[in-house]
Structure 1
Amino acid sequence: MAIMIPETPHIFEPASQEGLMFDALTLLPDDYYVFHSFRISTVQDNTFHESETDFVIFHKKHGVICLEAKAGHIKYKDGYWYYASGIPMHNDGPFNQASSNKWKLIKYIKNSKACALVDKCKFLHAVWFPSVSDNELRSMTLPPEADKALVLTKEALADPEKFLTRIYSIELPNRIETNLTEAEAQKLIREIFCPQFNVFPSASLDSDLKKLVFHRLLREQAGILNFLEDQRSASINGAAGTGKTMIAIEKAQRNAAENQSTLFLCYNSQLKNFLSENYSNPKIHYYTIAGLACKLCNTTFPDYKRMKNVLEDMYFSGAFPYDHVVVDEGQDFGSEILEQTDILQLIHDLIIDNEEKNGTFYVFYDRLQLIQADKIPQFIEDSDCKLTLYRNCRNTENIAVTSLRPISERKPKLLENAVKGTPAKIHFCDTEAKAMEELDMTIDNILAEGFKDVVILTCKTEDSSLLKSGIKDGRYRNKYRFTTCRKFKGLEADAIILIDVDGESFNPDNVLIYYVGTSRARLRLDVITMLSDEECLDILQNTLKRTGKIRKPRRELASALNAIGTVTND
């Protein structure tokens, strides 16, 4: 289904059949964006100008089509287009109107921040006559501006993509072919077609546009970005869901827009792969710290002592190839070997001490997600400039509370008017067989609710997980991604199913893993566990510090975690 903006059509005259055409365009695949009743308003020489296009259709690999819709019987006579009533059409008819709106859109983009994309994208126009069949069209004689190749007919109501593909294939005089990157496509959408959203786009933009409340630009985030414009080095702390990676990516993209290169460092390979696949930009190079060590030293395995020597040589020779450095999940860089070699400080000095480049070095981190190292890197502790993000913009209110509850009694700070969402569900099972059965039922229920982005996370390792024998190529049932909480850190999904939660998951050494796993869920969270009554009682008393008589430990643990508990027995 195409991404329709808005999701329901604007008000229209019933005789125009725009509602019928709107429904037909929803049949397009989900990589199409359709904007209904797209308006451009400008003031030139103190005179107001406005244009409205019935449908603007955008595809990042094909381009833009400005589509005018004309239903009912129309005619062309003596150089004029007429409605069936005999009233002349304004704007010299539908083809000239579509063409004019196309050129107004091109001009509008040229005057925007997305101006560079005009030469990288096809812009075409077309007219839809939903009351005219293909056979009728073939017998018509149209005016010079109305080539039949630019017409959609009644048959397009059943298969609009066939007609759009034909129009997209038309070769333009300037020979432009469309092949926008994901970042460029998102820039067109956020700068031109949906500027009112004011979001940092994430990888699945189609989902984000439907759940805008989770990706609104927070005032404090805007303040962080604006502050960083004049700050060459900073450490930015924020709990899970506060938008650290969104800001980090946006900062790197701003650098790229200025034709400056950025080294984007993280610790987890899955996060690095996700970012490089979904935010590809030739000016942004994504590496794990281990991958960068191998690259710089030309080795198969990371040798941080050798890496230190290479970086020191680059410092004195000025050979470091990047203008800026962004480090995400910086708390993971506190391992003993990285601290001994002082890698973060070295990379910082390579950037900041090179005054000719005037580069920047930013570290984003979360003290509560310290699960890959024993302590926060000394570089962060000693940082002169520290900022903190407070408001959660990823999770629903219920999920945010559930993820935070075992490590803090404080309520999470959320966006104003944040979605409350449904409570998390904790499924208590007595046996592994029941846990597997409950997992399958949970997946089926999630799918029935319309979720497609489903990830299964284990609090253990893959080899010690309940699912260790049911996984093929990192997928369960050949479809659903399965990995550990540690490896999925920095990523997120609409629906998370957390498994292998036991009594050890809530002890001081492991509770942060639970926090990381549950906080990955945007909209739906399910926890499948075989916790006994005795283990639940221990968690309630020792982790959650509950006092008083506890009658039903499982259900009371679920309630204490702000969740709905269900007990599945043999």
Structure 2
Amino acid sequence: MAELIPPADLVGPVPAKKRNEFKTAQLLAEYLPPHFKVFHSVHWATQNCDKTFLGEIDFIVLSPTGRLLLIEQKNGGLLEGKDGVSKLYGAQQKSVNMQMNRNLENLQTAFENRSGQKLDIDLLMYCPDYTIKDKSIVGIPADRVVDQPQADVLPEIVQHVLTERATARHTCADAVLISAFLTNQLNVRYDIGFLGGLAKSAYIEQAAGLSEWVGQMSGSPFHLLINATAGSGKTQLALDELAAAESVGQAALYVCFNRNLVEDMKKATGRPDTCTTFHELARVLYESNGFDYKPGAPGFEQSAEYFADHVEQFAHSVDVLLIDEAQDFEAQWLNTLFKLCKPGGRLIVLMDENQKLYSRVSADFGGWIKIDHQVTYRCPRIVTDHINEFGLAAQPIVSRSVVEGLPSILEVYEAGNDDSLLKATEKVLSQLLAEGHVKDEIALLTVKGAESSDLLKHDLIGKHCLKKIVGRTVSGDFEYSDGEVLADTVFRFKGRSANCVVLTELDFQELDENRKRRLFVGMSRARLRLALVMTQEAAGLLLGESNN
């Protein structure tokens, strides 16, 4: 169901002469897909030679990709002539052709004056009570004229018009900016929640492209290395590969370095036995052979070495093997995991060199099929612009998100001053909440480790209670405190995302590769908006990079 703006419960009593149009608006909202918007009774005004001209557009349908369809509804009979179609209002005859074109021109002009950008607009005429004998006189393509014989399929025609081209013309504005403009025309504040939901759902849909592409590839042996940026669809690819294997009775295994991402994958697949971290897999073998596992770094190293020496117990056991976050694996770990895949199986390694947070030498991928994909469907253009301007990625990142993104926030605090850090972070959180963002869609991330972070030592930031990791459950899942705003490190939040990301404790005197990667990981978690809380020196370094 599409969103109706203004909503039905805010409209009040509908005048008799407007009831037919309002029923059409409700019909479109009911049958169009989610994340479409149906604006009704949109008023415009323009001034020329000291005269003010007023007009009203019956409906404007906005697609998630920023395409617009202006719909003019005419009830009752119409007049057809050599100059087009007209309607009698009492004794006065008014041209429908001229009315539609005037509405389009004035909306385009008003938007361009406000934003400096153009709109991607189509026109459609809807006359549910009348059959037009010659549609060519209307002045728009015949398939944009919906008369009485087609009245029952109006929503389908509207959807077809708006989706026959996948995206708006590249020179035109995006859905976020247009939505804000149109809601302002209606004196309705736009819904942050809708924009965030749009960004999330559209990302899931668009990111499937990488999976479809890889799903059509075959070979023996099938060894594929994918170096793809954050939000490019690597997780969706992994889910689809696991599902495809299960559908034909093949054994599949997903192995990742990141614990959080593995837990998310277990829930998404409904098959926790097919998703594991490397260390979890090593621990299972270690303990199954009678050894006591000791938590912490020594236990990790000991079980990893044991796994490498005894992997033959699991060798050639899976038909499809997916290794994710491979940039953070030791070469020995990867080479050991490769042995799990059957000789004729599918072996797919997923990585992003820009997210390499550990100084580890990777495996040799000589002879593998390689795909490099630096397009993100999650991060809005505002965020990727920052990433590119700050020089955080080896190659420019291209955003194909359906949302432009909301303006970023930069807040400066005094280096070494804990109170200044807390106040700056609180100010950003309060601003986001005041603007309509909700607490459970904000991620407060520090670029420091959990032990070295000053921020994570606190349970409250002003009046905002933090939701922090306090331990692990018996099953090994992270256990959180009862706070409302998630606070974590960029290390542990890898593989996840939020509508708003507040990246804090940016306190550094040089912008080396490790800091660039931490910044990249943190910034690329944002689906809609980014806020940076940093020292003056760090701000100078970043802004200096953007000016180079």
Q: Same fold (TM over 0.5)?
A: yes
- For 2:277, the equivalent position in structure 1 comes to 288
Q: Does 1:243 find its partner at 2:257?
A: no
How many residues were matched structurally? 350
Q: Does 1:425 find its partner at 2:412?
A: no
Q: Secondary structure at the match of 1:468?
A: helix
- For 2:448, the equivalent position in structure 1 comes to 460
**Inter-CA distance 420–17: structure 2 relative to 1 (3 Å threshold):** closer
Query: TM-score normalised to the size of structure 1?
Result: 0.54
Q: Does 1:470 find its partner at 2:458?
A: yes
Q: Distance in 2 between matches of 1:311 and 1:196?
A: 52
Q: Of residues 438, 441, 463 in structure 1, which corresponds to 2:427?
A: 441
Q: Secondary structure at the match of 1:503?
A: coil
Q: Distance in 1 between matches of 2:468 and 2:202?
A: 34
How much does 1:205 deviate?
13
Percent identical pairs in the alignment equals: 19
**Inter-CA distance 305–360: structure 2 relative to 1 (3 Å threshold):** same
How much does 1:460 deviate?
0.8
Q: Distance in 1 between matches of 2:451 and 2:211?
A: 43
Q: Distance in 2 between matches of 1:312 and 1:511?
A: 39
Please list, as runs of the form range in 1=range in 2, the aligned pairs for 1:241-390 lying within 5 A after superposition: 241-277=231-267, 279-282=268-271, 285-298=274-287, 299-300=292-293, 301-302=299-300, 303-315=303-315, 320=317, 322-334=318-330, 339=331, 342-353=332-343, 358-375=344-361, 377-380=362-365, 382-390=366-374
**Inter-CA distance 499–537: structure 2 relative to 1 (3 Å threshold):** closer
**Inter-CA distance 383–271: structure 2 relative to 1 (3 Å threshold):** farther
- Preserved contact between residue 428 and residue 530 of structure 1 (Cα < 8 Å): yes
Q: Does 1:512 find its partner at 2:517?
A: yes
**Inter-CA distance 21–227: structure 2 relative to 1 (3 Å threshold):** closer
**Inter-CA distance 426–505: structure 2 relative to 1 (3 Å threshold):** farther
Question: Letter of the aligned partner of 1:370 in structure 2?
Answer: K
Question: Letter of the aligned partner of 2:227 in structure 1?
Answer: N
**Inter-CA distance 205–388: structure 2 relative to 1 (3 Å threshold):** farther
- Preserved contact between residue 199 and residue 378 of structure 2 (Cα < 8 Å): no
Question: Letter of the aligned partner of 1:507 in structure 2?
Answer: D
Question: Letter of the aligned partner of 1:463 in structure 2?
Answer: E
- For 2:397, the equivalent position in structure 1 comes to 412
Question: Letter of the aligned partner of 2:372 in structure 1?
Answer: T
**Inter-CA distance 388–227: structure 2 relative to 1 (3 Å threshold):** farther
- For 1:554, the equivalent position in structure 2 comes to none
**Inter-CA distance 423–209: structure 2 relative to 1 (3 Å threshold):** closer
- Preserved contact between residue 264 and residue 326 of structure 1 (Cα < 8 Å): yes
**Inter-CA distance 483–234: structure 2 relative to 1 (3 Å threshold):** same
How much does 1:410 deviate?
5.8
**Inter-CA distance 221–462: structure 2 relative to 1 (3 Å threshold):** same
Q: Distance in 1 between matches of 2:260 and 2:283?
A: 17
Q: Deviations over 1:226-266 (max 9, x none)?
A: 34355622111112222222222222222223333321111
Root mean square deviation, CA, Å? 4.0
**Inter-CA distance 409–419: structure 2 relative to 1 (3 Å threshold):** farther
Q: Secondary structure at the match of 2:457?
A: coil
Question: Letter of the aligned partner of 2:327 in structure 1?
Answer: Q
Q: Distance in 2 between matches of 1:456 and 1:359?
A: 41
In structure 1, list runs of 5 or more residues that go unmatched.
23-34, 40-194, 199-203, 545-558, 562-570
Q: Distance in 2 between matches of 1:527 and 1:437?
A: 13
How much does 1:495 deviate?
0.8
Q: Distance in 1 between matches of 2:444 and 2:334?
A: 33
Q: Secondary structure at the match of 2:455?
A: coil
Query: TM-score normalised to the size of structure 2?
Result: 0.56
Q: Distance in 2 between matches of 1:285 and 1:450?
A: 36
- Preserved contact between residue 441 and residue 500 of structure 2 (Cα < 8 Å): yes
Please list, as runs of the form range in 1=range in 2, the aligned pairs for 1:83-98 lying within 5 A after superposition: none
How much does 1:423 deviate?
3.1
In structure 2, list runs of 5 or more residues that go unmatched.
9-17, 34-162, 167-192, 294-298, 460-466, 470-479
Q: Deviations over 1:424-472 (max 9, x none)?
A: 2210123432331232232232233234411111111123223132136
Q: Distance in 2 between matches of 1:261 and 1:248?
A: 14
Q: Distance in 1 between matches of 2:195 and 2:165?
A: 13
How much does 1:385 deviate?
1.2
How much does 1:206 deviate?
12
Q: Secondary structure at the match of 1:427?
A: strand
Q: Distance in 1 between matches of 2:208 and 2:503?
A: 32
Q: Distance in 1 between matches of 2:338 and 2:194?
A: 32
Question: Letter of the aligned partner of 1:374 in structure 2?
Answer: R
Q: Deviations over 1:262-308 (max 9, x none)?
A: 2111112122222223x032386211111110012215234122112
How much does 1:422 deviate?
2.3
How much does 1:536 deviate?
4.5
Q: Distance in 1 between matches of 2:194 and 2:339?
A: 36
How much does 1:207 deviate?
6.1
Q: Distance in 2 between matches of 1:286 and 1:219?
A: 20
- For 1:490, the equivalent position in structure 2 comes to 495
- For 2:529, the equivalent position in structure 1 comes to 524
Q: Does 1:402 find its partner at 2:407?
A: no
Determine which structure has greater relative contact order: mean sequence separation of CA pairs < 8 Å that are 6+ residues apart, divided by chain length.
Answer: 2
- Preserved contact between residue 320 and residue 345 of structure 2 (Cα < 8 Å): yes
- For 2:84, the equivalent position in structure 1 comes to none
